[in-house]
Chains A and B, each alone.
Chain A
């Protein structure tokens, strides 16, 4: 499928990628992504607000949960992060294919690995079409919850829209 060239078509395109398979790697829990948009560009303040919502959700069973004051916002290279994940997914896929060749009963492992690779490659491809794609992680020392935000921009000035994916990762 051709990657759409307008943000309003890119949103459903990205959401459709997540239909079959939606697990962000490098998390110890199921970490589905959600795709949204925002009018304007992201500031540190907005990133912290996004984190606050997800962090409270992740801690909703904790009575009297207080948002930590020491949250750190870390920016990661979009390209390097995806490249590392894609290479990891390809290595898994190659191993799954070898297992399958030795024993056809392992087919579900091959299916899963192919879906995982496609998920990453398509997400990368989709976000790559945006300006300033970046990966942000908001974390707190001592908490396993990490908020992942993949974002990119469309348009300029007053018409600038940020398209982003969020997920709650568990990293102990």
Chain B
């Protein structure tokens, strides 16, 4: 099995072309990082806090609202609908392209989007104990999306390393 940092750099490479998590209205580039140990509630909240503080830069009186960490979803639950929808977009873009070659750029974008979700899913699927969590609040629209997976056996010689993809997302 490749190391967490090898997988992290493979994911970063695959995010170079396009990095826009589907279904989001905002530009939601994923950031990839790794850390030693397993993810816990505290880590979710601290990732989320960084995004919320960043979005409120300049607001001196900003206080973090009460945040809700969603129950974890499986990768399949999150990615399968995204893949199906990206695939439908490719099929439509291809019909448009066959009818009018000038629409080629839309086929390019649709293909890249499909490749993006499929690759991201593929990379995380290779990890152990994968899950997808969202951190939300009742007062603010952005949610923090956190996709994680682990490598390592959890021993001293082969410690657990968690690989995280995270983004602040606004769903359209």
**Which residues of A are interface residues toward B (Cβ below 8 A)?**
1, 16, 19-20, 79, 86-87, 90, 93-94, 97, 100-101, 104, 107-108, 110-111, 114-115, 117-118, 121-122, 124-125, 128
Contacts and interface: CB of A to CB of B under 8 A. Distances in A.
Contact of B119 (A19, A111, A117): A111
Interface in B8-49: 13-14, 16-18
A118 B76 contact: no
Contacts of B122: 107-108, 111
Contact of A121 (B108, B118, B125): B108
B94 interface: yes
Interface of B: 13-14, 16-18, 76, 83-84, 87, 90-91, 94, 101, 104-105, 107-108, 111-112, 114-115, 118-119, 121-122, 125
Contacts of A20: 13-14
B118 A111 contact: yes
Given A1-B17, A114-B118, A121 B91 contact: no
A110 B76 contact: no
Contact of B111 (A97, A117, A128): A117
Given A90-B94, A125-B108, 6 more contacts: A1-B17, A19-B13, A110-B118, A115-B115, A117-B90, A125-B104
A118 B111 contact: yes
B119 A93 contact: no
B107 to A, nearest CB: 6
A112 to B, nearest CB: 10
A118 B86 CA distance: 13
B158 to A, nearest CB: 26
Contacts of B125: 107
B111 to A, nearest CB: 5
B17 A114 contact: no
A134 B112 CA distance: 24
B76 A104 contact: yes
Nearest to B79: A107
Given A104-B76, A107-B125, A118-B111, A93 B13 contact: no
